[in-house]
Structure 1
Amino acid sequence: MGTHAKKIILFDDDDDILSICTYILEEQGWEVHTFGNCNEIIDKVSGIMPDVILMDNWIPDTGGIEATQRLKADNNLKHIPVIYFSANSDIQSLAKDAGAETYLAKPFDLEELEDVINKLIR
Structure 2
Amino acid sequence: MAKQIYILEDDEDIRFIVSYILNEIGYEVTEAETLKQFHQQLETGLPDLMLLDIMLPDGNGLELCEELKKDPAISHIPIIMMSAHAAQEFVQEKACAQDFISKPFDLDNLTNMIRKYLPN
User: TM over 0.5, yes or no?
Assistant: yes
State the Cα RMSD in Å: 1.7
User: SS where residue 76 of structure 1 aligns?
Assistant: coil
Q: Is 1:68 paired with 2:54?
A: no
Q: Distance in 2 between matches of 1:79 and 1:46?
A: 17
Residues 74 and 119 (structure 1 numbering): CA distance in 2 closer, same or farther, change over 3 Å?
Answer: same
Aligned to 2:117: 120
Please give the residue correspondences for 1:1-122 in structure 2 after superposition, counting only pairs within 5 Å: 4-39=1-36, 41-88=38-85, 90-97=87-94, 99-122=96-119
User: For each residue in 1:30-60, what CA deviation from the matched residue of structure 2 results, as whole angstroms up to 9, or x when unmatched?
Assistant: 1100000112755522423111100001023
Q: Which amino acid aligns with 1:121?
A: L
Residues 64 and 44 (structure 1 numbering): CA distance in 2 closer, same or farther, change over 3 Å?
Answer: same
Question: What stretches of structure 2 of length at least 5 have no aligned partner?
Answer: none
Count of residues in correspondence between the two structures? 119
Question: What stretches of structure 1 of length at least 5 have no aligned partner?
Answer: none
User: SS where residue 39 of structure 1 aligns?
Assistant: helix
User: For each residue in 1:68-118, what CA deviation from the matched residue of structure 2 results, as whole angstroms up to 9, or x when unmatched?
Assistant: 111111110011000000012513322441600101010001101111101
Q: Which amino acid aligns with 2:111?
A: E
Checking the alignment, whether the CA contact within 8 Å between 1:66 and 1:98 is kept in structure 2 is no
Q: Which amino acid aligns with 1:110?
A: L
Q: Distance in 2 between matches of 1:14 and 1:7?
A: 20
